[in-house]
Each structure stands twice: as C-alpha cells, then as structure tokens.
Amino acid sequence: MTSAGTIDPAAAVVRDVAAEVASLSGVLHSVTARLVEVTAFAIESGATSEAGMRTPAAWLAWRSGLSPEHAGQIVKLAKVRARFPVLFDAFEQGVVSADQLTELVKAPEWAQRQMVEFAEIATVTRLRRAIRDEAFEHDPDEPVGEREAREPADRVSFGVKEGRWRINGNLPIDLGRRVEAALTESKDRLFDAGDRDASWSDALVDIADRSLDAVSSRDRHRSWLHLDADGCATTTDGWRIPESIAKLLTCDGTVAPVWERDGIPFSVGRSQHIVPDRTRRIVERRDRGCRVPGCTADRWVEVHHIVHWADGGPTDTGNLIGLCPKHHRMHHLGQLGIVGNADEPTGVVFTDARGSPIPHSHPPEPPGEPPACERPYEAPPAGRMNYDWVGLGWAHPNALRRRRDQANDWHRD
C-alpha cells in the first residue's frame, strides 16, 4: 500500500505474474503428462523403432524437438507409468511437475500417497536429498529375493554432454574402492614422475593410456574376409557370407590382398585401408556422427560408401557418409535406403524399409486449445527443511502393524 492508501501497482503486477505462472505451470504439467502417456503407448506398440531409431528417447527427441536429456526423462517416466497410478494421477492434474515426478518414482510403490503429500512441501532439490532407500521402512514380510532386486545395479556410463566427455558409475563399495585405489596409484605415480599438479582426471587418462599400451598387435582381434574377383566372400574357415554383409565389411575395413598364380596363393600384400586415413578424417569432421535423421550416435562411427565399393563406388567424400554400426547394418540388410551427395548439407535422401523418405526434422504442429487443468500449480515453501523429519511415517503398513502387535503384546505381559 502507498501512503495514500492505494494499491502499489508494482505489487499488483507481481501478484498477477505469480498467478499466471501457477496457472501455466499446471497446464504445462498436464500436457507433459499426456506426452508421457502417448510415449508409453508408442513404446508398447513399437512405434519408437521408426526409421531405425536407436532408442525410444532418440525417437522422441527427433519427433518432438526436445533435447536428448529431456526426451530421456519423458521415456523413463513412460516406462514406469503403469506402476505408479497415484503419482501419475497427480501429474495429470498438474499437482506435481515432471522433474518432481522423476524423483518421486524413486520411492517404493507402496508409498505413493505419502510422496504426493511430500511433494506439496518439497522442491526438486529437497526430493533428491530425501528420497533414498534408507528413508523408507519396507515391508518386513517382503521376500528376500524382492528385497535384493531393489539394490542398484552395477553400471558405468560415459559420453559427451555440453561439449565435455563425462563418466559416471555406480559400483559396490569393494569394487569402487578398487577403482579408487587404482586412481590413487596412478596419481602418485604421476607425482613421482615430476607432475606436481596431477589431478584425478590425469590419473584416469594415465590408466587408459597404460591399458592401451599393454595391447600388442591387434591383428589377432580382426575378422578376416576373403573376397574373390567374382564378388564371392568367404571367411577364413570357408563359410560363405551374404553379399550384404560383405558390402558392410568392405565399406570401412582393411584389405590385405592375396596374390594368386594359377589359382594357387603365393604372396600376401601389405594391408591397406579401403578409406584412407586422411579421407576418413575429412568425413568425420564433416558429419560429426551418424547422418541418419534423428540419430545421436557420435562415437565409433563407420564410413559408408553410398555407391558401394564392391560396385565400383569411388572413395571420394561425396560418396562417403558417417553411419553408426546399427544404421550401417540396417542399410546393408535392405532396411534403410541412402542415396545422394554427402558433401551437400541436405544432399542425402534416406528412406525406410517401405521406401518412404525419412524427413530430416519434424516441424511442430500449431498448438490447439490446452487441456483443462483442475487447479494451478502450488509452489512448495522455500524455507529451510529439517531433514531429520523426513521419513517420519514412511513405513510400510505391515511394519506399522508389526509395531502395534509388539506394543500390544508388551502391554499384555
């Protein structure tokens, strides 16, 4: 209020903006819930394998324009949607956001109603801190096998995100300590060698370098293919392989010619790459990963001859294109068509198994009327939270029943 008793216009604007944000947030959460529902149906029906998409998340990112990270979040929610009806009902009503729900589904299924109540007073950051397995008192009658199934699986993931290569892992304590000891040994070794500023990242790279240096000749790991002048391809032990597989392997492999006289081999020539290293570097820099629309693969990319090398296709950059192993194999099995000039940004046409063109992008449809939302989103309080309170009441009903029975037995005694 001003001194004259009138309403401060700035405060009124803030109130209007806050109400508008709450209203739009409720609609946004409801719309996202519908997207999760449709994605779940797409996964179940097999629609996400369209155009040979590597994962449902890749398909959704291609179809919707979402980032790979956001699409992955939607897919994760879609896969557990049927297990958490109470949580997803709140999601559809706009009561909780997608980010809140991502944390809420980490709780056990029996605690859904408690989680909805907790979400009303907890931000995403607080949910991340509070929802962990030790915060719940599980069913004491639960079979041991199901209890063990809740334990996190061993995993290591890595890749490029936001221009940086990242690695993340989840291992049992004993194995993790072993990795930690190896990193410590490597860091100490670098320090003793004179690198006083050696970091943990330096230690990790040092371990990788020493592992690769320990590999001797890699020829023994190669699969050898024998190509005759008439196009027949066989393995070393005489098995004939399909022409499609032969073309796949000769796209980006190594050739060691075997010279024959009167049908008798007498000499083996020096190994030669079908795609020279210099040309490969040009293609890799140009394509920066797999060129198939919607594919996000950018590692272990193979260089493919659009007009096959076995059919006389030149090893020129316009006839070479980067493909991930999956799409490379799909092409040679007749499930993905590729024609055009790869040197032009949109000069290559991809077709699916039916011969229909695969578009490079999907422009969004004009929005219609947003779905009705039962109530605006209510932001949780922003004050401090005592995490000692978290978990009070997060006990399985069977655990509470057992406590009451024990208390009654004690009173009777």
Q: pLDDT digits over 311-347, tens only?
A: 778 888 899 999 988 899 889 888 999 999 999 888 9
Amino acid letter at 349? V
- The reported pLDDT for the residue numbered 88 is 95
- Tokens for 371, please give them: 């779905």
Question: Helices marked H in 258-305 — which ranges?
Answer: 277-287
Q: Is 1's pLDDT higher than 70? A: no
Which helix (H) or strand (E) segment is 406 a member of?
A: helix 397-412
Q: Where along the chain do its domains lie? A: 9-151+379-403, 155-213, 221-351
- Phi and psi, residue 81, nearest 5°: -55, -45
Nearest C-alpha neighbor of 294 from the set 121, 52, 97:
52
Q: pLDDT digits over 285-312, tens only?
A: 889 889 998 887 887 788 999 998 777 7
Q: pLDDT digits over 142-196, tens only?
A: 776 665 555 667 889 887 676 678 899 888 888 888 999 999 999 998 888 877 7
Average pLDDT of the chain, as a whole number: 79
Strand partners, 351: 337, 357
Q: pLDDT digits over 37-93, tens only?
A: 999 999 999 888 877 787 899 899 888 888 889 999 999 999 999 999 999 999 998
- The reported pLDDT for the residue numbered 212 is 75
Nearest C-alpha neighbor of 151 from the set 138, 168, 166, 167:
138
Q: pLDDT digits over 86-119, tens only?
A: 999 999 988 899 999 999 999 999 999 999 989 8
Give the Cα separation of 93 and 216 in Å (integer).
61
Q: Tokens 């369209």 sit at which residue?
A: 50
Question: Helices marked H in 120-254 — which ranges?
Answer: 124-130, 144-149, 173-192, 200-213, 243-249
Question: Helices marked H in 200-350 — which ranges?
Answer: 200-213, 243-249, 277-287, 325-332
Within 195-327, strands assigned E span: 225-227, 233-235, 254-255, 258-261, 264-268, 272-273, 302-305, 320-323
> Could you give the percent of the chain with pLDDT greater than 70?
73
- The reported pLDDT for the residue numbered 210 is 85
DSSP string of 44-90?
A: HHTGGGGGG-SSHHHHHHHHH---HHHHHHHHHHHHHGGG-HHHHHH
- The reported pLDDT for the residue numbered 262 is 62
pTM value is: 0.58
Measured at the CA of 89, the angle between CA 84 and CA 94, to 5 degrees, comes to 125
167 alpha carbon, distance to own chain's centre:
13
